[in-house]
Amino acid sequence: MSLFDQLVVKTLPLVPKPIVRYFSKRYIAGEHLPEAVRVVRALNEKKFIATMDVLGESVTERNLAINMLGECKEVLNTITEEKLDSNLSIKLTQLGLDIDYDFTLNNVREIVEQARSLDNFVRIDMEDSKTTDRTIDIYKTLRQEYPNVGLAVQSYLRRTVDDVGELLKEKSNFRVCKGIYIEPEKIAYKSRKEINDSFIKLIEMIFEADSYVGIATHDDDLITESYRLIEKYDKKPDQYEFQVLLGVRPELRDQILQDGHRMRIYVPFGTHWYQYSIRRLQENPKMAGMVFKSFFTRRNSK
């Protein structure tokens, strides 16, 4: 990333919300559940599957975590009622992880139990490194009780290969992604090659163990290598899937689907769209530069 790109990324939080909303709406299904339903239905009609995510994290009040619990359960009910091909992704800090461990565990258990009753599945997202141990502990506890819960892991964390090796003993269901949180070099790889090498090692470990994996990437090299491993291990289309974010490289998702692979689209929605949008833009300096340019163009025109 160039010095200019770094400057743009760091100053993104100064850009007014209306401008961020305009440029990031392609990544967000909307603020409310009916909007997300429309997006998922349109994706299903094109043979994509989905995972729905109620935006919001780092909750520090119990009543807000309980509200989020209710929203997640409503999503599961709506998926069934609307006959959508989608599961649910959740973040533990939106359900109280920064408040109380047992409170969070009970909230997640309630969601996973409801998903099981509806023949659906819940994916626990991985957040920053301060939450990693607790996230894995909650996942392991619930995995012993329920078969319909999976975990996201991040290839840029140095510990992840060991974590996955341990979790494979329990026939876990994974989403493998690169990771987007800013972490110190002591615990996280920084070079693209190291991150990608770790990513491919994780996919191969999971394939060797005959566990299910969601290959979550927009990286052409990683997709090519994943194709190679799928052929090497003679994986059938129901033994893995690819995953991409809503609005990111639609031509890529179309091609993967045309190549005969399952493709799941991550569909975020909700009123807490701003923080998510800033993170997406920070991953895409080119788009962030357009936002920043628009900001100053508007200011200078006043």
235-261 mean pLDDT: 96
61 belongs to a structural domain: yes
279 belongs to a structural domain: no
pTM: 0.90
119 belongs to a structural domain: yes
> What is the secondary structure of 189-223 as a DSSP string?
--SHHHHHHHHHHHHHHHHHTT--EEEE---HHHH
What confidence tier does 283 reach under pLDDT thresholds 50, 70, 90? low
Catalytic option among 53, 98, 125, 163: 125
Is 116 among the catalytic positions? no
CATH code for position 158: 3.20.20.220
pLDDT in tens, 40-65: 999 999 999 999 999 998 999 999 99
Catalytic option among 143, 175, 253, 280: 175
Positive or negative: CA dihedral 126, 127, 128, 134? negative
Q: How many structural domains comprise the chain?
A: 1
Centre a 10 Å sphere on the Cβ of residue 235 and count the other Cβ atoms it contains: 17
127 belongs to a structural domain: yes
pLDDT in tens, 93-120: 999 999 999 999 999 999 999 999 999 9
> What is the secondary structure of 121-160 as a DSSP string?
-EEEPP--GGGHHHHHHHHHHHHTT-SSEEEEEETTBTTH
227 belongs to a structural domain: yes
The domain of 128 spans 29-269
Is 192 among the catalytic positions? no
- How many Å apart are CA 147 and CA 166, to the nearest integer? 17
